[in-house]
Structure 1
Amino acid sequence: MPAHPGAAPDSAAPSSVPPRPTRRPVPPRPVGVPAEAPSETTRRLRPIPADPAPAPARERRHGSSTSSAPENATPVSPNPAFSWSTQSVPQRPVVTFGEPERYDESARPRSFGLRVRGRTVAVAACVVLGLGLIGGAVTGSWLIGDSGEAGERGAFAASGSLWHSVPVDQMFPPTVQGRGAGPGGADRIWTRIAVAPDSGCADAFDPLLRRALAPVGCQRLLRATYTDATQSYVTTVGLLFTKADAAAMRSLDARFTDERLDRRSDLMPRPYAAKGTVAAGFGDEQRASWTVSVLTDAPVVVYAVSGWADARTVDEPQPAAEAMRSGATNAPAQAGLGHEAKGLADRVERSLRKSVTSSTEQPS
């Protein structure tokens, strides 16, 4: 029977109205469009991966929107790099430095390479300058050595002409001080009593000594005779200016040293006996001691011969080197005549060297 219009519908009867869907229908996914991952609703920022891959551009076909993912889409596994729960290994960033920019005095930028090249050029210039200074120093030392040798040759040549350019009082001082020149280091004072005229060597030496000196020749002979403070002894000192060069003088010096010619009594120089003085009787028989010195830096032979002022004769003359030895007992040694000859010859030689130095010095 039909239902009453005011009666409630029977709950057991089936309803003709379709039930309301609980979910919105998902439109079908176009062919070729990949499924989208579920949208994130959190506001937290996701970490940026070290080298993220670019996301593919999504195609839009038939005007369909892909802003929301369909419920029936196949779920895609999340990328661990985008997950907060994944322990990602930190990666050290790669840092590269650009070339530093430099500035010059005008505050204009300048490349660092230019400065490096500038420093290289400066270092090279310093090396060249240093080598130049070293070469200059070596060259200067060579020049100094050459000038030194030239100076020695000049002094040697200049000393050969002193016999006519140096005053007598400078060559043979009127008084000669001999501090420590006597026996036992006693002082001596010699006074000049006569100067012989400059002459040749014909009668100044014994024949054997003249023969020994012949290789160097005889240019001029200067002589003077001195006496001591007590006028007990007389000594003749002589300067023989030769014609030889430095090599010949060295050869003669070597011969006198090797053959001991300066110690032979038959090679004694002769004295200068001046009349009217205490040396008037000073002859060949009165020679007691002597010394002969061949110079190698000047063409000069320096010698001296001593004896008693009372004209006594000497039977055994003794060279100065032996008469000055400690313990010598003969008469010339006991009287100190070896010291007289050697001491006076040394002082006259020093005076000669001073004259050579003065003559070769250049005015400043």
Structure 2
Amino acid sequence: MTFARPETYHPETHDGTRSRPSRPRRLTAATCVVLGLGLIGGAVTGSWLTGDADADGDRGNFAAAEQLWHSVPVDQLFPRTLDGEGAGPGGADRTWTRIAVAPDTGCEDAFDPLLRKALAPVGCLRLLRATYTDATRSHVTTVGLLFTTGDFAAMASLKSRFEREGLDRRTDLMPLPYAAQGTLADRFGAGQRASWTLSVLTDAPVVVYAVSGFTDGRTITEPEPAEEAMKSGATTAPAQSGLGHEAQGLADRVERGFRKTVASAVDKAS
């Protein structure tokens, strides 16, 4: 590999001294510096929005995220409608409509005892939940944001344990739905859970989950985690009905929206 001579070097006029960059070149260099800084800042924000930020970026956003449960409007955390482009089986589009928002609560009666025990190491500050239905009004899905009292290390440890032991795939650790009376979800109880997903974040003190079922109140004898129900060729009832896609699609979009909210809060603070 060879490098050309610097632009400031002109053989025909060289007198042993370094010529001074012209004003246009100085302006170009300054512009490149500004653009470079902007790209670096954008990359940091963008990587956090997709869950790929480094440890320092994670810790900076962590502090901002833990304060948001009481200051962000519910329509921002759980929009009235959510579009899921390509989120359905075979890449079909989905649209979900919010039909109920639960009052923010603690976690005492919000989870089955075993899941509550598994989440205990990070504590429970507040639980926010909303239930959605699909465009056909045949499916219902509850999405939850559990704000914990755990610090950065505690969240990382819990995430590692869930992944290592497969706790997010155990049917005895499914989240409970929010069955709002007088809505399409009023028969959406523990026995109606068909598919679910649960994600422990490490860049925020938050656990994101979603659990889906049918609006007709049918009992599900073999619920299946969304990851399995979304696999090509799966033949279980949750897979054939697309309920794995419902749970995963809604959880992903609520989590994405939450990350954008945190990024915006960090930008305003800085």
Letter in 2 for 1:206: D
Distance 1:151 1:337, change over 3 A: closer
Which of 355, 361, 364 pairs up with 2:261? 355
Displaced runs of 4 or more, over 4 A = 148-151
DSSP 3-state at the match of 1:205: coil
Partner of 1:178: 84
Larger RCO: Structure 1 or Structure 2 (Cα < 8 Å, ≥ 6 residues apart)? 2
Partner of 1:97: none
Partner of 2:118: 212
Partner of 2:181: 275
Give the whole-Å Cα distance in 2 for the aligned partners of 1:363 and 1:219: 23
Q: Does 1:300 align with 2:200?
A: no
Which of 242, 246, 255 pairs up with 2:161? 255
Structure 1: 5+ residue runs without aligned partners? 1-118, 124-143
Given that 2:106 and 2:124 are in contact with CA atoms closer than 8 Å, whether structure 1 keeps it comes out as: yes
Partner of 1:87: none
DSSP 3-state at the match of 1:198: coil
Q: Does 1:309 align with 2:223?
A: no
TM-score normalised over the length of structure 1? 0.59
Q: Does 1:288 align with 2:197?
A: no
Aligned-pair identity in percent equals: 72
Superposed counterparts of 1:1-364, under 5 Å: 152-362=58-268
Partner of 1:126: none
Q: How many corresponding residue pairs?
A: 223
Give the whole-Å Cα distance in 2 for the aligned partners of 1:159 and 1:169: 17
Larger-Rg structure: 1
Cα deviation, 1:279-323, whole Å, max 9, x if unaligned, reads: 010000100000000001100000000000000000000010100
Give the whole-Å Cα distance in 2 for the aligned partners of 1:241 and 1:299: 6
DSSP 3-state at the match of 1:291: strand
DSSP 3-state at the match of 2:103: strand
The Cα shift of 1:159 comes to: 0.2
The Cα shift of 1:363 comes to: 7.2
Give the whole-Å Cα distance in 2 for the aligned partners of 1:349 and 1:258: 22
Cα deviation, 1:243-300, whole Å, max 9, x if unaligned, reads: 0111111110010001000000000000000111110100001000000000011000
Give the whole-Å Cα distance in 1 for the aligned partners of 2:194 and 2:180: 18
Distance 1:359 1:328, change over 3 A: same
DSSP 3-state at the match of 1:361: helix
Give the whole-Å Cα distance in 1 for the aligned partners of 2:226 and 2:60: 32
Partner of 1:130: none
Letter in 2 for 1:336: G
Letter in 2 for 1:238: G
Q: In angstroms, what is the RMSD of aligned CA positions?
A: 2.0
Give the whole-Å Cα distance in 1 for the aligned partners of 2:115 and 2:96: 27
Partner of 1:4: none
Give the whole-Å Cα distance in 2 for the aligned partners of 1:354 and 1:268: 27
The Cα shift of 1:184 comes to: 0.2
Structure 2: 5+ residue runs without aligned partners? 1-15, 19-40, 45-53
Give the whole-Å Cα distance in 1 for the aligned partners of 2:227 and 2:58: 29
Partner of 1:24: none
Give the whole-Å Cα distance in 2 for the aligned partners of 1:297 and 1:193: 29
Given that 2:58 and 2:204 are in contact with CA atoms closer than 8 Å, whether structure 1 keeps it comes out as: no
